[in-house]
A = this chain, B = another copy of it.
Amino acid sequence: MDKKTLLSTPVEPIDIKAFDAGPILEAMGKTAFQARNLHRAAEIYLKMLQDDCAVILTLAGSLVSAGQGLIVHDLIRKGLVDAIVATGANIVDQDFFEALGHRHYQGDPKADDETLRRLWIDRIYDTYIDEAELRHTDYTIAEIADSLPPRPYSSREFIWHMGRYLAERGLGEKSIVRAAYEEGVPIFVPAFSDSSAGFGLVYHQVKNPKAHVTIDSVADFRELTEIKLKAGTTGLVMLGGGVPKNFAQDIVVAAEVLGHEVEMHKYAIQITVADERDGGLSGSTLSEAQSWGKVDAALSQMVFAEATLAFPLLASYVYHRAPARAKRRYADLFSVEVPA
């Protein structure tokens, strides 16, 4: 098969505004196992929104390529998320990539990877990506870095400039990066170079060996901790585990290390396919997180499910039942500097 045929059916982002999963999820809440857990998680998310509580959303795993990005966009626009911690793949390789006009495509999990390699098609399980379009994303990141004064940046600050880049060009209206930029939602990517951003920034640094943009992940940690101090009560909505989960949980301890008394995350839900038995963080229970003083287990819920099945149901339920809620615009806590 040729490249054009292989890249002919795009993944379509799922639109939780188009349906209300409420009746289904309520019925599931009276059954058992993960269906009941999913309903309870949705209820806890609703409680966060009813409480005076900052909602931190963490994203790991291939979510945007799998059509889950529009959900995050919609949550941001409606003011149901106050800060985001994510992997670089979701924010740069997938969301910013789509904002630039590229698409993900429906593919075959049993494809011949040698053939794909030859055609410059990258595969994520059953999804295809045009590597040439990914390279374009890399170089766009380099272009943004070239435009900025050479100094250390938090990923949050750099991603704000990515949002500005999109807004100024009228690109990516439905993207996470653009929506977050416009709605004042800070996005943190603690392992920022582990993504298409890394390729672009390495390119930028090698081209500008003397003076260049650097990404200080310590600044990310410091800034997210400031948000915790500002917010007081906080809740976590976690898709997958990994660095974003750990990072967001850790700010409670970071605040303590800095000498502040803060409460644990009062609410926490996680959708994950990992489990606790190997000691990996992604599957570690929220009860375990309580021993670390990070999460109050009373209002927490693990849902052991794959995100494409569980997240649309949960998000649709919450979207259609959320109370009106002022946007917190935590991004405005940090001064920004737009180069001339």
Interface residues of A (CB under 8 A from B): 11-15, 18-19, 21, 23-24, 27-28, 30-38, 60-62, 65-68, 89, 104, 106, 109, 111, 113-114, 116-117, 121-127, 131, 135, 138, 152, 190-194, 198-203, 205-206, 213-222, 225, 240, 242-243, 246-247, 250, 253-254, 257-258, 273-282, 284, 287-288, 290-293, 297, 304-310, 312-313, 316
Residues of B within 8 A of A250 (CB): 194, 198-199
What 7 new A-B contacts, CB under 8 Å, besides A126-B279, A205-B219, A277-B304? A18-B23, A19-B27, A31-B66, A152-B216, A214-B214, A216-B216, A282-B282
Q: Does the CB pair B205–A222 fall under 8 Å?
A: yes
Residues of B within 8 A of A19 (CB): 23-24, 27
Pull 6 A–B residue pairs with CB atoms less than 8 Å apart, ordered by A: A27-B312, A65-B279, A193-B247, A202-B222, A214-B219, A215-B217
Contact residue among B193, B247, B304 (Cβ-Cβ distance under 8 Å from A217): B193
Residues of B within 8 A of A15 (CB): 27
Q: Does the CB pair B203–A258 fall under 8 Å?
A: yes
Q: Does the CB pair A202–B215 fall under 8 Å?
A: no
The 5 closest A-B pairs by CB, nearest first: A31-B67, A35-B308, A214-B216, A32-B66, A191-B191
Q: Does the CB pair A32–B127 fall under 8 Å?
A: yes
How far apart are the CA atoms of A214 and B217 in the complex, in Å?
Answer: 8
Q: State whether A247 and B194 are in contact (beta carbons under 8 Å apart), knowing that A32-B11, A277-B275, A277-B306 are contacts in the complex.
A: yes
Residues of B within 8 A of A30 (CB): 11-12, 14, 67, 106
Q: Does the CB pair A202–B221 fall under 8 Å?
A: yes
How far apart are the CA atoms of A40 and B49 in the complex, in Å?
Answer: 35
Kindly report how many copies of this chain are found in the complex they form together: 4
Contact residue among B68, B200, B243 (Cβ-Cβ distance under 8 Å from A242): B243
Q: Does the CB pair A220–B193 fall under 8 Å?
A: yes
Contact residue among B12, B198, B274 (Cβ-Cβ distance under 8 Å from A31): B12
How far apart are the CA atoms of A306 and B280 in the complex, in Å?
Answer: 10
Contact residue among B111, B198, B219, B309 (Cβ-Cβ distance under 8 Å from A34): B309
Q: Does the CB pair B106–A36 fall under 8 Å?
A: yes
Residues of B within 8 A of A28 (CB): 14, 308-309, 312
A322 smallest CB distance to B (angstroms): 19
Q: Does the CB pair A277–B67 fall under 8 Å?
A: no
Residues of B within 8 A of A106 (CB): 30, 32, 36
How far apart are the CA atoms of A116 and B18 in the complex, in Å?
Answer: 44
A35 smallest CB distance to B (angstroms): 4
Residues of B within 8 A of A297 (CB): 113-114
Q: Does the CB pair B202–A126 fall under 8 Å?
A: no
Residues of B within 8 A of A216 (CB): 152, 214-216
Q: State whether A279 and B242 are in contact (beta carbons under 8 Å apart), knowing that A193-B217, A219-B205, A297-B113 are contacts in the complex.
A: no
How far apart are the CA atoms of A222 and B204 in the complex, in Å?
Answer: 10
Q: State whether A21 and B18 are in contact (beta carbons under 8 Å apart), knowing that A113-B287, A201-B218, A202-B258 are contacts in the complex.
A: no
